[in-house]
Structure 1
Amino acid sequence: MKNRKVLIVEYKTDSTGNLDGELKALRYNVKKTSFKLEELGDVAKEYAPHIMIVDMSVHADKNIIAKASKAQFELSIPVIYFTEAINSRTLYQTMKTDHYGYIYTPYDESTLQTTIELALHKHKNDVSVRESEFKYKELFNHMTSGVAIYELQDFGSRYALVDINTVAEQLIGRTRDDLLSKPLTMVFLNAVQYGILDTVKRVQTTYKPETMKAHYYEDENFNGWFNNHIYKLPTGEIVHIFHEITEQLEAEKELKAKQKELELLNVELAKTVVEETDKRRKNEQVLFEQSRFLAMGQMISAIEHQWRQPLSALGINIEDLEDAYITGDLDSDYIHDLTKDSMVLIKTISKTMEDLNSFFRTSQTEEIFSIPEMLSEVYGLILSRLFNSDISFHIVYTKDDSTTEAHDKEVLNFIKKIRDFQAEGVPAEFKQVIINILNNAIDAILEKKSSSTEHIQGHISLEIDKRENDINIYIRDNGIGITHDAIGKIFEPYYTTKESGSGIGLYMSKTIIEQNMKGKLNSSPLPNGAIFTINLPLTPKKN
């Protein structure tokens, strides 16, 4: 009882006797006021009692009953009436309020305390019930499905509507007031024809919930497709939940139609992709062959220089043979030396022919090949062009943080010593990529030389950085370089900065490295030249 506040409202001063003293003895906090006071509600709000005792000792006062009832509602507190002997008029007036009992005089301490505590307990339960009802109504009326609740009435002859939520009103097109107490067949006018009434009767009998999925319903008030769920409450009422799915079904129908269209479109698209892919492959094959022919022209030009020296030496040997015959110097030693020297020259020419034949081998079969071996063959083919163009060549090999290098004539022997890594692809294609890049580097250096009045020493370096699973090949030159405008275009087909260029060499090189060999080919300008970077996955050697 401690800390519980009691507000006593007296008809006149001390009309309740020692009620306040007895309540204080029971450890209640007590305040007394007169109901002649105009602002009873304000006093009650300020004091905030847990319970209010209103004096009805003489007669019932409509005003005080009204004020007490208002305070009870606004402050949510219970009201008990105090009286010596209640008369019919007082009883009638107080019964119209939601009061929580009477305190009759004389009374004892036990009765007084019991009356107050029962009132407080009952009021607490009433508040809890009201809150539950409020939550139920809020939940009920905010459901996205329509809900109708029926009760079996008139000795089981009809199902009457006892509650309906807001969504159900909207779906049916009628108000709650219009529908309450109406039989099921007046809520759903065609409940019999569409099987709703029979389903309700079965659920009433079996207690087993039933669901009517994608069920069409129509009457003069509304129509549409609904999912229906009907079940029976423990208290006997039948709950009918119906959710409109007309838009959902229409959307699903439209979606299926779109999916069908998409399937047909995908078939046509797949056909187009196959045709375009085939067309692209044919175009790329044409470009590849054009690139090979261009490279062949460059190689033949290089071989022209490479063969000139041994052919010239062979011519001198033949002329010297005639002179030796005339002068009588033609003996066995002379013949032996001449033959030996001539065979060396012939083997040099033959080796060049073999390298050329290997480079332009037409096989397109993928295989595992040695990268250093391919680099060696390419270097053998361009060596003469490098020499005739006054361009030095430098190779660097890095493995496990260890670096070795070689220059010019030492390069071929150096490459033979590092044949310990391999890749997968078409060897001729890989060689074509390297020769394309090296020929472009030579052309860039020659263009720079021709545009300068000073002597420029051309230089090309090929750096190999071997790692555990892949390899980077860097080809640098000190030629005219690449402009920032051109850097994003040089790998596009038919783009060229040369007057006589075709614009397919670098395009095919990138296609070979990235599509065929699953690597990367990029280029960047340098302060004095350009750099091309090839990254390739390595193929492990078989044990």
Structure 2
Amino acid sequence: MSKARILIVEDEWIIATNLSSTLEDLGYEVTSVVLSGEDAIKHAEAERPTLVLMDITLRGQMDGVAAADAIKELYDIPVVYLTSNTDEATFERVKDSESFGYIIKPFEKMELKYAIEMAVYKHKMENVVKEKTRQLEELNKNLEIRVKEEIEKGLQKEHLLIHQSKLVSMGEMMVAISHQWRQPLNVIGLLVQDLEEAFEFGEISKKYVTEMTRDSMAQLNLMSKTITDFRDFFKPSGEKSHFSVKAAIQECISLIKLQYENNQIYIDFVAQNVNVGARALSDSPRISEITIFSYPEEYKQVLLNLIINARDAIREKRRRDFFSMGYRGEISISLTDQRDSVVVEVKDNGPGISAGVIDRVFEPYFTTKEDGIGIGLYMSKIIIENHMGGKLYVASSESGAKFTVEIMK
């Protein structure tokens, strides 16, 4: 070990002188010899020795134990006691002071050497442990910060993906609106053309104007309702609320039904209540009472994603079986009121999902569609399982795919 610098605190001068000589013979450097606890503190501050050899009984108002406590607290310098007092009370005080050694006078030269070496080594190891503890605490603190930052990044990414998924859904809805508006716009166009012809032939009468106004307003109200449905479908709902599951499904269907039927894709909605042991139609009053406490907007977004996915599966089957005849695209939606949960299943009669793909359908940015971006099903699973505490899973067969949404009551 390196040469230790030692401060001697001993009020008997002859003993102090002999102790100083012994230490020098052992290869140590004696920084000072002081007689009181007050002087020991002053010299410890000025000289910063490696170790202090401290007599317990000293001159002045401060004894060795009090001086050792102060030196340890202020300067973190280890103290080894030298004393002829071996009574129990003195030993208990020394033990409570967390000293690094206790040598009873008179002592042997090598006994002193071993006590000093052990005290210096023990203090060194304590400092190593303190530093490692400090580094570990700093690492834990930094780790907590990093974890918090990564969680924040993950939440930001998740919100961004939800927003992106919603934009995709809004795009689908805009296409649906264009289909739903085409028919009333055609009717209004025909009425305007008829108005011009009626004027030329003098057929405009009070009855004619009344009927034209009625028919035109009917078409305009239909278009206005479409806009209202679209607005309500994407109305922000930042807080949980009780909402009807049946109504949520019907809202999704009403927005896209006409567009899908124009493309020979038909949606069938059936509801049942297993609690009463009998099948119920979708217009059953009991089924209309099924509510859950969650996020209605996000729930409808998931349903819409699943319906769109079913539509795309049907389109894919038509593309593969281009020459097949009599194929009717069908999407079946079932609502089941179970004892502890509300279950919605969305089935299609598309080609199904292959075994090599089915385990990846919920992965972000994974898609088998040529124009897909692969976030619809991923975000649907995040919404149902992370935000709503439910389950979303998929099954497949030769007759098509089935996605199941389960929300606990």
TM-score, normalised on structure 1?
0.52
Counterpart position of 2:367: 496
Counterpart position of 1:240: none
CA deviation map 1:209-229 (0-9, x unaligned): 99958763676379479xxxx
Query: Residues 444 and 464 from structure 1, CA distance in 2 versus in 1: closer, same or farther, beyond 3 angstroms?
Result: same
AA in 1 matched with 2:359: G
* 2:197 aligned counterpart, secondary structure: helix
Tell whether the 8 Å contact from 2:82 to 2:102 is kept in structure 1 after alignment: no
Alignment of 1:82-97 (within 5 A): none
Alignment of 1:149-298 (within 5 A): 199=86, 202=87, 216=101, 220=110, 223=114, 256-298=130-172
Do structure 1's residue 460 and structure 2's residue 345 form an aligned pair? no
1:444 to 299, 303, 313: 313
Counterpart position of 2:242: 368
* 2:353 aligned counterpart, secondary structure: coil
Counterpart position of 2:230: 356
Q: Report the Cα offset of residue 448 of structure 1.
A: 0.5
* 2:155 aligned counterpart, secondary structure: helix
Counterpart position of 2:65: none
Tell whether the 8 Å contact from 1:217 to 1:223 is kept in structure 2 after alignment: no
CA deviation map 1:498-535 (0-9, x unaligned): 11001111121111112221212122222321111111
Tell whether the 8 Å contact from 1:302 to 1:385 is kept in structure 2 after alignment: yes
- Distance in structure 2 (CA, Å) of the matches to 1:317 and 1:250: 98
CA deviation map 1:239-287 (0-9, x unaligned): xxxxx99999998776554443232112112222222222222222222
- Distance in structure 2 (CA, Å) of the matches to 1:518 and 1:528: 30
Query: Residues 499 and 245 from structure 1, CA distance in 2 versus in 1: closer, same or farther, beyond 3 angstroms?
Result: farther
- Distance in structure 2 (CA, Å) of the matches to 1:439 and 1:309: 22
* 1:423 aligned counterpart, secondary structure: strand
1:325 to 199, 202, 205: 199
AA in 1 matched with 2:294: G
Tell whether the 8 Å contact from 1:447 to 1:479 is kept in structure 2 after alignment: yes
- Distance in structure 2 (CA, Å) of the matches to 1:320 and 1:333: 14
Tell whether the 8 Å contact from 1:391 to 1:460 is kept in structure 2 after alignment: yes
* 1:284 aligned counterpart, secondary structure: helix
Greater share of helix: 2
Q: Which ranges of structure 1 fall in alignment gaps of 5 or more residues?
A: 1-191, 226-243, 539-543
Counterpart position of 2:340: 469
Q: CA RMSD in A?
A: 3.4
- Distance in structure 2 (CA, Å) of the matches to 1:247 and 1:470: 66
- Distance in structure 2 (CA, Å) of the matches to 1:504 and 1:415: 35
Tell whether the 8 Å contact from 1:460 to 1:476 is kept in structure 2 after alignment: yes
Counterpart position of 1:175: none
Q: Relative contact order (alpha carbons < 8 A, sep ≥ 6): 1 or 2 greater?
A: 2
- Distance in structure 2 (CA, Å) of the matches to 1:487 and 1:381: 29
Tell whether the 8 Å contact from 2:272 to 2:287 is kept in structure 1 after alignment: no
1:484 to 345, 348, 355: 355
Q: Report the Cα offset of residue 441 of structure 1.
A: 0.5
Counterpart position of 1:33: none
CA deviation map 1:26-70 (0-9, x unaligned): xxxxxxxxxxxxxxxxxxxxxxxxxxxxxxxxxxxxxxxxxxxxx
Q: How many residues align?
A: 318
- Distance in structure 1 (CA, Å) of the matches to 2:121 and 2:339: 61
TM-score, normalised on structure 2?
0.67
- Distance in structure 1 (CA, Å) of the matches to 2:285 and 2:213: 30
CA deviation map 1:331-352 (0-9, x unaligned): 3333333333332222221111
- Distance in structure 2 (CA, Å) of the matches to 1:392 and 1:250: 80
Counterpart position of 1:315: 189
Q: Report the Cα offset of residue 353 of structure 1.
A: 0.8
2:386 to 512, 515, 518: 515
AA in 2 matched with 1:438: I
Counterpart position of 1:433: 302
CA deviation map 1:112-146 (0-9, x unaligned): xxxxxxxxxxxxxxxxxxxxxxxxxxxxxxxxxxx
AA in 2 matched with 1:216: G
- Distance in structure 2 (CA, Å) of the matches to 1:481 and 1:224: 81
Do structure 1's residue 537 and structure 2's residue 405 form an aligned pair? no
CA deviation map 1:151-196 (0-9, x unaligned): xxxxxxxxxxxxxxxxxxxxxxxxxxxxxxxxxxxxxxxxx99679
- Distance in structure 1 (CA, Å) of the matches to 2:342 and 2:391: 11
AA in 1 matched with 2:361: I
- Distance in structure 2 (CA, Å) of the matches to 1:475 and 1:248: 71
